[in-house]
Amino acid sequence: MKIELVEGDITEQRVDAVVNAANSSLLGGGGVDGAIHRKGGPEILAECRALRASRYGGGLPAGQAVATTAGRLPARWVIHTVGPVFSRSEDRSHLLASCYRESLAVAGSLGAATVAFPAISTGVYRWPMADAARIALTTVRQAGTAVEEVRFVLFNSAAYAVFEDALRDMG
């Protein structure tokens, strides 16, 4: 599997599936989530509401992933995953790794060959970028998946540089 880093906006990626850094309500928020719903349009929210009315009545737990249409985005699917809120007193890195693993599993079951990820949990959920980059890259690299290309979309040059360093450190 090919891993690519780009600096940019995840809502503009031409890929099969775009991953959303959602919250467990699945009903929208700020950051990546806000941008995806704004640009993707109401079809995405309608499918999220249907998921809340069926399989995920209690919300989507952290570390899990579920797909909807991508609406008007230039992608076929949005895969919603819920990152953990960063905590200094509790190690939640298994949940962050699970977001990447479960999103790739959903992508594989849909037949998606190309997947774009944001740096999950590094915004509102405050995960330190370098640690998040290491977890993201090692998890994706170790995942047994039929996905052919994983693109990490970093929102600014600082985040891009951190991911570049982490990728280099992995050899």
Give me the active site residues, please.
33
Q: Would you count residue 71 as binding ligand AR6 (CB under 6 A)?
A: no
Per DSSP, the residues of 130-144 read: HHHHHHHHHHHHH--
Using the rule CB under 6 A, is 9 a contact of ligand AR6? yes
21 belongs to the binding site for ligand AR6 (CB under 6 A): yes
Site string for ligand AR6, 147-166 (x = CB under 6 A): ------x-x---x-------
Considering the complex, state which of residue 49 and residue 146 has its C-beta at the smaller distance from ligand AR6: 49
Distances from the Cα of 142 to the Cα of 8, 50, 80, 87, 98, angstroms: 25, 33, 21, 25, 12
d(CA 114, CA 75): 10
Q: Which position among 15, 60, 75, 119 is part of the footprint of ligand AR6 (CB under 6 A)?
A: 119
Determine if 32 is a binding residue for ligand AR6 (CB under 6 A). Answer: yes
User: Can you tell me which of 64, 98, 114, 122 binds ligand AR6, judged by CB under 6 A?
Assistant: 122
Binding residues (CB under 6 A) for ligand AR6: these are 9-11, 21-23, 29-33, 35, 83, 118-125, 153, 155, 159
